[in-house]
Amino acid sequence: MPPKVSVTAGNSQVLVPFLLTCRVGWRLTNKGVGRVNDRPDPADAIDLGHPNSARVYDYFLGGTANWAIDRVLGDKLSELVPIIRTGAQVNREFLGRAVRYAVGNGITQFLDLGSGVPTVGNVHEVADEIDPDSRCVYVDREPVAVAHARILLERDGDPDRHAVLQADLRDVDAVWKAALATGVLDPSRPIGLLMVSVLHFLDPQDEVSEVVAQYRELLPPGSHLVISHATLDAVPEAELRQFEAGVELYRASGIAASPRDRDTIRAYFGDFALAEPGLTWLPEWQAAGHQVLLRERPEACCFVGGLGIKG
């Protein structure tokens, strides 16, 4: 069993001994950390020689679960794309509004794919504010993100209602089976499936459309699918040049970055009915009554998103 660790702000290095023991499928139980599936996975190895998109995103949000190599890339990206940190916050705001919308429409359980490093306003925290009995399973393949999520849930979560899995969202059957095996999700009831700021980090050769279609098929009727995705469609010229340079820097750093056109992103929702206002710039989605960054220049964020409902 992985040893328990304590983490102090600004010292993510203490996670290394814990991370080196991680396996796909570890989850929280009322006795600490238990196993759903203990098969060793080569992907568990911590790669500190290359930046990671989840850790860079954490850096943009002001987190501490990142290493020097992530901060170097983050700083270079910020030089090329000055608005990129704001864009990360815009995504976080969208996530919160989407979760609140879903809970307000009867969704009480969530599966957060590519959940990243926990920060302020995590899915279970937002949902619990409205429904204290809500449930959430987090999934990410990045060991640092998973380890921090486990620590957060050990401290503040409920093992009967919250779990975290280390897995690759592209392995749909394995992710779905492991998520249900936690006992947190009830497959007979609607689920809120979240894919926020993650699909554009999948390589174009990963058959993204097929992956998302498989999840849509598995979701029970009434489920909500939330997606935000980077796009260069209709982005203002000044930001367009910056974002194109940022995409190239991501790729040169070994991170797949694939902004896609609106039609492609819309197709990820299949025949799900889109909640108002449809697929739109993130600062425009369900923004009434909320403080929203980039409200006056929503297209500058280069992210669109929406929420689809399965009939």
Higher pLDDT, 157 or 192: 192
φ/ψ of 212, rounded to 5, equals: -65, -40
Dihedral angle sign, alpha carbons of residues 277, 282, 283, 289: positive
Separation CA 123–CA 126 (nearest Å): 5
In this predicted model, what pLDDT tens digit does every residue of 142-169 receive, in sequence order? 888 888 888 888 888 889 999 999 999 9
Domain membership of residue 2 (yes or no) is no
Domain membership of residue 1 (yes or no) is no
Domain membership of residue 106 (yes or no) is yes
Kindly indicate the confidence band of residue 245, based on its pLDDT and cuts at 50, 70 and 90.
Answer: very high
Domain membership of residue 236 (yes or no) is yes
pTM to 2 decimal places: 0.83
Average pLDDT over residues 227-236: 94
φ/ψ of 57, rounded to 5, equals: -60, -40
Domain membership of residue 77 (yes or no) is yes
Kindly indicate the confidence band of residue 23, based on its pLDDT and cuts at 50, 70 and 90.
Answer: very low
The tally of domains found in the chain comes to 1
CATH number, position 37: 3.40.50.150
122 burial class (0-12, 13-18, 19+ CB within 10 angstroms)? buried
Q: According to the model, what pLDDT value does residue 58 have?
A: 87
DSSP symbols for 266-307: HHTTTTPEEPTT-SEEGGGTT-TTS--TTSS-GGGG-EEEEE
Q: According to the model, what pLDDT value does residue 45 have?
A: 54
In this predicted model, what pLDDT tens digit does every residue of 66-96 receive, in sequence order? 889 999 999 999 999 999 999 999 999 999 9
Residue 175 pLDDT > 50: yes
What is the domain range of residue 177? 12-309
Q: According to the model, what pLDDT value does residue 48 have?
A: 67
188 burial class (0-12, 13-18, 19+ CB within 10 angstroms)? exposed
Domain membership of residue 226 (yes or no) is yes
Residue ranges of alpha helices (H) inside 61-142 are 68-80, 84-104, 123-130
Domain membership of residue 26 (yes or no) is yes
Q: According to the model, what pLDDT value does residue 157 have?
A: 86
